[in-house]
Amino acid sequence: MEDALFCSMAAPRTGFENVSSKSVRFSVVISQSNKPIEMIDDVAAGCQVTGQVATIDPDRLSRISVAYAIHSMRIGGAERSIARLINSLDHNRFAPLVVCLSRTGPAANWIEACDVPVIELGTRKAFDRSVIRRFAEVLEHHQVDVLHSHNWGTLIESHLARRRAKVPVHIHAERGSVLGAAEMRGLRMRVRGRMAGWAMRRCDAVVTNAHTVARRIEDRCGYPAENVYVIPNGVEAPDGLLSAEQASVRRRELGVPDGAVLLGSVGRLVPVKGFDLAIRALAKLMAEGRGYHLMFVGDGPEQERLTDLAVELAVSDRVHFAGHQDNVGPWLSLFDLYLNTSHSEGMSQSMVEALAAGCPVVATEVGDSAEVLGRNGECGRLVPPADVDALVGGIGELSSADCRLSLRGAAMRRHQQLFAAVQMAQRYAQLYRQMLAIRQGTRLSSAGNVHQ
């Protein structure tokens, strides 16, 4: 398994030399997330900001400066991944910053270090030519060594800004559906795929979190899957995990009686997550006379439809909506089994969090779910997607207390061995150093090489 985590990478095709930064004036504003944000003056002109000249800590200049480009810092998987990577990097060696092409958001609060700039460029349309200049000025001002862009919404802008600012290394990350909306088809998708493939071939590295996504990149963008680096999601053990006694008390407070098996899922309530399958499975389990409850931790546009479905199937008294929670640890402590019912997936961070909390998993076999759980059922069960009967069967296999207890330790060990946040950060740090070494024409020891 570990030997398969990384794929080979073709040699970079373009060369840029670093240049000294020019002076750029910034304004500092406090966002709704209470995270300090830097904004370039001409962007800030249309916003409510207070003017103050920002300076760069001289200590940052002695470290490798890495800029993480993202469309915004709203709540989402890519944003959580950026925050976790920043939190786990060695800040004695790396100086991270976040560049939001549009606006920041509440996910900026997930970044723990107080010296990480979060910069918003204020673009208001899909492709804003004026943002390229502002983006390049940020990169020059912070003397960025590595630009790490995320998803289609930043790829072209990052490539052009990198060229203008002559940033030595550009690494691009694609996740999930690749190129934006999973349902996009036809001419628009083909044009976007060609543009993305063109830009990817001019990056120093393309990276993703799942082998399935690497193949999707090849299908949609024409960029070879064998050249994509696969670095799995890494997560820290969730904070605030409850003891068994504390969990029992909290479950009773939420209306889950002693002896009931509580099924749970964490994620945005959106169609691709397939949460309706979980409700339909619950209804079948209840028809068989079993004592189950179901809890969703998250919010989203599907909540009303899911609520109506629970009423229609006469299980509304057993379906609990906890809403969005910044800290999912206490909620994972309540679950007896974790459900991932997605129709499409790259690599589920929430599923890895469940393993870290010692929660056995029943998951649809999409994306890299098999790599996360292990194909031999070490940590749970895999079932075909969109198959309610198979989901019911998988839940039934793991419902006994003895079975769940035996899987608990295996789940925690698998997380520690393969999916810890510090391991993810080490792999990215190796990739950053390796790409910089290639640009500088130097060699790394085998320990600093991520090719496997």
What percent of the chain shows pLDDT beyond 90?
A: 71
User: β-strand 36-40 against 64-70: which pairing, if any?
Assistant: unpaired
One domain for residues 413 and 430: no
Poorest-confidence range of 40-54, 165-179, 204-218? 40-54
Pick the closest to residue 205 from 368, 29, 438, 452 (CA basis). 438
The Cα 196–Cα 437 span in angstroms is 25
The Cα 134–Cα 112 span in angstroms is 26
* pLDDT classification of 183: cutoffs 50, 70, 90: low
Tell me, what's the pLDDT at 344? 87
- Per the CB < 8 A criterion, the answer to whether 342 and 367 are in contact is yes
Asked whether residue 369 is domain-assigned, the answer is yes
One domain for residues 296 and 282: yes
Q: Determine the structural domain holding residue 290 and report its residue range.
A: 244-418
One domain for residues 124 and 35: yes
Asked whether residue 314 is domain-assigned, the answer is yes
Q: Residue by residue, what is the 3-state secondary structure of 355-417?
A: HHCCCCEEEECCCCHHHHHCCCCCCEEEECCCCHHHHHHHHHHCCCHHHHHHHHHHHHHHHHH
Q: Which two tokens stand for residue 354?
A: 């469940």
Asked whether residue 217 is domain-assigned, the answer is yes
3-state secondary structure of 296: strand
Please tell me which residue, 452 or 158, carries the higher pLDDT value.
Answer: 158
DSSP output for 83-111 = HHHHHHS-TTTEEEEEEESS---GGGGG-
One domain for residues 185 and 288: no
Using the 8-state DSSP alphabet, how is residue 179 labeled? S
One domain for residues 223 and 159: yes
One domain for residues 15 and 98: yes
- Per the CB < 8 A criterion, the answer to whether 74 and 150 are in contact is no
The Cα 94–Cα 145 span in angstroms is 10
Tell me, what's the pLDDT at 318? 97
* Residue 66: pLDDT over 50: yes
Please tell me which residue, 400 or 19, carries the higher pLDDT value.
Answer: 400
Dihedral angle sign, alpha carbons of residues 240, 232, 370, 447: negative
Q: Which class for 336: exposed (0-12), middle (13-18), buried (19 or more C-beta within 10 A)?
A: buried
Q: Which two tokens stand for residue 249?
A: 């008390």
Asked whether residue 239 is domain-assigned, the answer is no
One domain for residues 194 and 261: no
In this structure, what CATH number is given to the domain that contains residue 71?
A: 3.40.50.2000
Tell me, what's the pLDDT at 26? 39
Number of separate helices (H) and strands (E) present in the chain? 15, 15
One domain for residues 412 and 432: no
Exposure string for 270-296, b = 16+ CB within 10 A, e = fewer = eebbbbbbbbbbbbbbbeeeeebbbbb
- Per the CB < 8 A criterion, the answer to whether 67 and 138 are in contact is yes
Tell me, what's the pLDDT at 326? 85
Asked whether residue 123 is domain-assigned, the answer is yes
One domain for residues 299 and 441: no
Supply angle C-alpha 379, 385, 388, rounded to 5: 90
pTM, to two decimals: 0.77
Asked whether residue 171 is domain-assigned, the answer is yes
**Which tens digit of pLDDT belongs to each residue from 332-371?**
999 999 999 999 888 898 999 999 999 999 999 998 899 9
Q: Average of pLDDT values for 182-199?
A: 84
The Cα 8–Cα 450 span in angstroms is 9
Mean residue pLDDT of the chain comes to 85
One domain for residues 294 and 189: no
One domain for residues 40 and 178: yes
The Cα 117–Cα 120 span in angstroms is 10
Q: Average of pLDDT values for 290-314?
A: 96
- Per the CB < 8 A criterion, the answer to whether 231 and 303 are in contact is no
Q: Which two tokens stand for residue 72?
A: 């915004």
The Cα 13–Cα 412 span in angstroms is 41
Asked whether residue 167 is domain-assigned, the answer is yes
Residue 57 Cα distances to 63, 111, 113, 202, angstroms? 11, 18, 14, 31
* Residue 24: pLDDT over 80: no
Tell me, what's the pLDDT at 11? 34
- Per the CB < 8 A criterion, the answer to whether 197 and 223 are in contact is yes
* Residue 321: pLDDT over 80: yes
What element of type H or E holds 303?
A: helix 303-312
Tell me, what's the pLDDT at 428? 98
Asked whether residue 411 is domain-assigned, the answer is yes
Poorest-confidence range of 31-35, 123-127, 401-405? 31-35
One domain for residues 225 and 330: no
> How many domains, in total, are found in the chain?
2
* pLDDT classification of 380: cutoffs 50, 70, 90: very high
